[in-house]
Structure formats: C-alpha cells, structure tokens
Amino acid sequence: MRSTNSADVPFLAWAMHESMKPVTGKGVFDDALDCTGTAPLAFHAALLRCGASNWGRLEDFLLIEDEVGAPVAAMSAFSNMQDDLRPLTASGFEQVSAALDWPAEAARGFWLRYVRLFGFFGKAPQLVHAADYVLEYAAVRPDCRGQGHYSRLLAAHGQRARSLGHGAMSFSAVIGNDVVTRPLREFGFREAYKVGPEVYRFMYPGMIRYRCELPAD
C-alpha cells in the first residue's frame, strides 16, 4: 500500500473511469465527452495531471501493487467541506479544457452536458455526503478481484482519516451496485440515505450514501 505519483496516472485514470461503470456501463463524464472527441481515459489522465479532479487529486489516492510492482487497486478521497462538491469545478473545467486544447465549441458542449447532471451549484443537497472524509474512485484490476483488496483500501483510508482527525468516512454507491455494497457493509458502513434517480432527472440510477464510524485511537 502506498501513496501515488505522476507515474501512476494511467492506472488511476483507468480506476476513475472503471469505478463508475458498474450498473450504468459508463463513466461519470462519458456522456459529456461525446461532443469533444476526447477518450474517457485521456480525460481522466488530464484531470489528474493538471490537478483538476475535485473528487481526489493525485496525492489523495492510495494504491495497492502486486508482487512485481504492478498496480492492482486504487481508491481516492476528498473533503465534504469543499465549497464545490461536484467532480469538476468551473475553474477545474477551465484548466482541463485548456490542457486538452479543446476548441470553444467542444468545451461549451461538454460543460452544458455536464451541468445537466451535476447542476450549476456545487453545494446542491444531492452532492452532500454523510461524513467529511469521502471515499471515491475505487477500482480493482479484473484479474485481482475477490482477494480482499477493496477491504484493504478501506482500512488504509480509515487510518488516514483518523490521522487527519476524522471520526467517520462516507462512501457513495450507485443504486443496484451490490458488488460494492457487500464489502462496504462487511467493513462497517451503514446506509445513511438515498439520492433517488429523480434528483438526476432519471439520467442516473441514483446513489446510496453510506457512513462508517471510525474507532477512536
């Protein structure tokens, strides 16, 4: 288990995209990217390289490697106390669109599609989580699943959260994603509340917010 650096960007970009695919079959930015010509993995890599990923920057990830040093699994975290809780803020959008050299029409098309799902306001009720330390972008390499890596990442982030003074963690799962909810419940997460599909104009299945109380030191 270790923190991440710029050499890990390709795997982290895959993990960011992969983490959103269960149930929906696509990443969180895929629909918005349709008008840009940019592949999802290239977009996620650009988010990390220019520091525009609001749901976990490069320094916020933890990574598990196999015995030969190849990446196996990753998970990020971010603060629920941020002024803007969307995965991409307006300033982050300016950074990443410049990094990808998008023409004005492509940038405008992306932003309009993006705010249809996430809104114009970064503190909308559906964006608020069940604890200040929020876990996100978690994925395990397909050939390494079922080996407890997800639980190891949860435990490592729990230790990090406690070291930062947090008494609880939050995690969101797409409604219907039983593969994720099983290890969450086994670790000690409990459902806090649901954000139904109607909140997302039925463009998304909805989310379950989970909360896990962390033991005191």
Identify the residue whose tokens are 């982290």.
12
CA distance 207 to 209: 6
Q: Could you tell me the residue range of the domain that residue 82 belongs to?
A: 2-213
Amino acid found at 10: P
* DSSP E strand boundaries for the chain: 2-3, 62-65, 71-79, 133-140, 168-174, 190-195, 207-213
Report how far apart, in Å, the C-alpha atoms of 217 and of each of 27, 159, 164, 214 are. Answer: 37, 10, 12, 9
Closest C-alpha among 203, 164, 211, 161 to residue 185 = 211
pLDDT at 22: 84
The CATH number of residue 7's host domain is: 3.40.630.30
3-class DSSP state of 101: coil
Whose tokens are 């029409």? That residue is 105
- The pLDDT averaged over each successive group of 10 residues in the chain (217 residues) is 97 96 90 97 98 97 97 98 97 98 98 92 91 98 96 98 98 91 95 91 88 89
Q: 106 by DSSP, 3-state: which?
A: helix
Q: What pLDDT is attached to residue 164? A: 97
pLDDT for the residue numbered 201? 79
Looking at the structure of the chain, the number of domains it has is 1
Look at residue 156 in the predicted model and tell me its pLDDT: 98
pLDDT at residue 203, as a whole number: 79
At residue 204, φ and ψ (nearest 5 deg) are -150, 145
The Cα–Cα gap between 29 and 88 comes to 10
Can you give the pTM of this predicted structure?
Answer: 0.95
pLDDT recorded at residue 217: 66
pLDDT at 120: 86
Query: In whole angstroms, what is the distance from residue 118 CA to residue 116 CA?
Result: 6
What was the pLDDT predicted at 23?
A: 84
